Amino acid sequence: MFVSESMAKKVITIDQESNILFARELMKQNQIRHLPVVEKNGRLIGIITDRDLRSALPSLLLYDSREEKEKLSRIKVKDIMTKDPITVLPTYTIQDVLLLIQKARVGALPVVNENGILKGIIGVRDMLRAFINVLGIGEPGTLLCILVEDRIGTMKRIVDAITEEGISFGSILVARYWDKGKRAVFPYLLTQDVSRVKKKLQQKGFTLLDPMEWYLDQLPGNE
């Protein structure tokens, strides 16, 4: 799935010459945490976040007086914004964005075209919606956890056993397991009646685990 399919296209932006009190009010009114800073032609030159504003405005009590408000109104967006922020193209995949967000430790990334013109913004919530759609977990179903040997043909055996029962997949993921040579397979099945398929998988020699127990076992100190 590409960024262009998941990003927010209607983006609230701000001019670099605006003051930070206006930026704060704009975020508050629109319930957003990121404001791309653009020039008149739409070219992105920076971004300002709620964290930037909290650093510049540590407490409402500090600018309660008219004098303090006037002083703060002279602080421009350009004085505290992040210049030349990390951006992505609309043709990036959501996997690319996820890795960038994790590496940069940011909550959202502006989306620009080859000329640096702002086209949208994609954040953690957009990513969650995209993955929910990709994984099919928005539909009622059941998540299984199957512990398997890391061998060629194992996945086909699992898929065959499930489809033979006339059950459709929402998605299927494979994760590393602590034990060498093993993997944890997570099929999300679009049914809540999984008793027969679970029995069938066990008869074929597969070990079924509770997905939540598997997750807890992977936490540090639970080896």
Q: What does the pLDDT read at residue 62?
A: 54
**Domain co-membership, 107 together with 47:** yes
Cβ–Cβ contacts within 10 Å for residue 122, how many? 25
pTM: 0.68
**Domain co-membership, 101 together with 196:** no
**Domain co-membership, 176 together with 92:** no
pLDDT at 57 over 70: yes
For 149-208, write each residue's pLDDT tens digit.
888 999 999 999 999 999 999 888 888 766 788 888 999 999 999 999 999 999 999 999
Mean of all residue pLDDT scores within the chain: 87
Q: What does the pLDDT read at residue 129?
A: 85
For 88-146, write each residue's pLDDT tens digit.
999 999 889 988 988 998 999 999 999 999 999 999 889 888 877 777 777 889 989 99
**Domain co-membership, 9 together with 67:** yes
Helices 195-203 and 154-163 pack at an angle, to 10 degrees, of 140
Cβ–Cβ contacts within 10 Å for residue 153, how many? 7
For residue 48, what pLDDT band results from cuts at 50, 70 and 90?
very high
Which of 108, 132, 156 is a domain's end point? 132
**Domain co-membership, 80 together with 171:** no
Q: What does the pLDDT read at residue 219?
A: 45
**Distance, CA of 91 to chain centre:** 17
The CATH number that applies at residue 40 is 3.10.580.10
Tokens 């959501």 -> residue: 94
Dist CA 110 CA 123 (whole Å): 9
**Domain co-membership, 213 together with 116:** no
Nearest C-alpha neighbor of 9 from the set 90, 104, 96: 90
Using an 8 Å Cβ cutoff, are 23 and 30 in contact?
no
Kindly report the CA angle at 55 between 50 and 61, in degrees rounded to 5? 100
